[in-house]
Amino acid sequence: MANKNARPPLAKKKSPVVRALLIIGGAIAAVAVLGIVGFTTGTVLEENNAFCTSCHTVPENTYVDRANVVLANVNAPVADLATSHFHVAATKGATTNCISCHRGSSSLGDRAQTLALALKDTVTFISGKADPTIEKPTIAEPVLVNTACIGCHEKTLLTVNGNATHFHNLLSATAALIASGKPLISTSGRGRIRNESGKQSTLTCTDCHSAHMTQNISDPLASKLKLVDKTAAQKACDACHKESNQRSQSIDRLLSGRGGDDDD
């Protein structure tokens, strides 16, 4: 007859190794969940300019105010490239926002870099060390911005029209597009790039295009400059011509149609 007072056998205690593995596994799972939630939340919130400017207070609020002016009145003067992007979107019935140019592509690497930059910016905001300079000739992460430029302006880089487009055609970004199988687009029967020896130029989009620098829209060549910083562009032009062993040219002469011959 079984002893009713007998105690049930005690459960075996987990070994220290097993307990340690369970704790580590749980911690990794928790970090993964928090990472996924943070990644998803950040991706959603960054689409809202108001969220961006809650931390990027100076000088980014100035940039957003400029954009809001042209969104409210498409006939308002546009004096910087970033505002122009909002203006063009508004005239086409489309929308754009700050992150459109600041997140690079949709690749996982660019997403991770964007969120890492956001974390860095958050620390800068909390520490009170933000740079209040409004007219910024340089940017923190040019790789992301240049990737975004190429993603939207691929056709511009591939369009060939002799001297009028050689500064885009000779960029290394254009060479990469051609190498990937993208065809050149001829608008005037010119089927090849002028001065092809310069195709591996180290210049990037932001060497000439400064998004948050106001430009002189009263310049007689303003319509052709398309909000390009003339001083930066001349410097880039000189550097590119030096790389490709070509004589330097004046930006004013080029835009006025007097900068060298147009022969292929």
DSSP string, 33-45: HHHHHHHHHHHHH
Between vectors from CA 214 to CA 103 and to CA 81, what angle results, nearest 5°?
40
Q: What tokens appear for 145 in the block?
A: 């911005």
* Confidence at residue 11, expressed as pLDDT on a 0 to 100 scale: 56
Phi, psi of 160 (to 5 degrees): -110, 125
* Confidence at residue 42, expressed as pLDDT on a 0 to 100 scale: 67
Q: Which tens digit of pLDDT belongs to each residue from 124-143?
A: 888 888 888 888 877 878 89
**b/e 196-228 (16+ beta carbons within 10 angstroms → b):** eebbebebbbbbbbbbbbbbeeeeeebeebebb
Q: Which tens digit of pLDDT belongs to each residue from 172-188?
A: 899 899 999 999 888 76
* Confidence at residue 81, expressed as pLDDT on a 0 to 100 scale: 92
- Does residue 8 surpass a pLDDT of 90? no
In percent, the amount of the chain with pLDDT more than 70 equals: 84
- DSSP conformational letter for 159: E
pLDDT tier, 4 (very low <50, low <70, confident <90, very high otherwise): low
13-27, 46-60, 81-95, 240-254, range with the lowest pLDDT: 13-27
Between 38 and 177, the more confident residue is 177
Distance CA 118, CA 103 (A): 10
- Does residue 10 surpass a pLDDT of 70? no
pLDDT tier, 263 (very low <50, low <70, confident <90, very high otherwise): very low
Between 51 and 69, the more confident residue is 69
Distance CA 209, CA 137 (A): 9
Extract the runs of DSSP E, i.e. beta strands, from the chain: 159-160, 185-186
Q: Which tens digit of pLDDT belongs to each residue from 115-124?
A: 888 888 888 8
2-16, 78-92, 96-110, 136-150, range with the lowest pLDDT: 2-16
Residue written as token pair 């490239």: 81
- Does residue 78 surpass a pLDDT of 70? yes
